Each structure stands twice: as C-alpha cells, then as structure tokens.
Amino acid sequence: MLLFRWLILLCLLGAAVCFAFYAGSGNPRFKRWGWVTLKWTLLAAGGFFTVLILERVA
C-alpha cells in the first residue's frame, strides 16, 4: 500500500515537472505530457482510494 502511495506521489511530481518545463520553454509537448500524466495519475489514485474505502465498508 505504501508503494502505491509513493507511485502516485511520484507521478504527480512528474506532472508538475512537465508543467514547469512548459512554463520555462513554452513547448506545448510538455503541457500535453503533463496533462496526460495528471489524468492517468488521478484515475489511478481514484481507483486506489475507492478500493480502500470499499475495504473499510465491507
């Protein structure tokens, strides 16, 4: 469980770095990578926390 939390944190950090590169360079490729990384990270985090909530309920 701790591993998944660290992976989610690292993916969020990676998205932030992509957005920082976009802000620094203006290259739209970094913005696209940042959005894709952020989208999939939030979907994975939502699924992970949904499983945790369902474990508590059941």
- Quick one: CA dihedral 48, 53, 55, 58, positive or negative? negative
- 21, 27 in Cβ contact below 8 A? yes
For 1-58, the pLDDT digits (tens) are 889 889 999 999 999 999 999 999 999 999 999 999 999 999 999 999 999 999 999 7
Give residue 37's pLDDT.
97
Give residue 58's pLDDT.
78
Query: Angle at Cα 15 formed by Cα 12 and Cα 16, nearest 5°?
Result: 90
Six token digits for residue 29: 């490729």
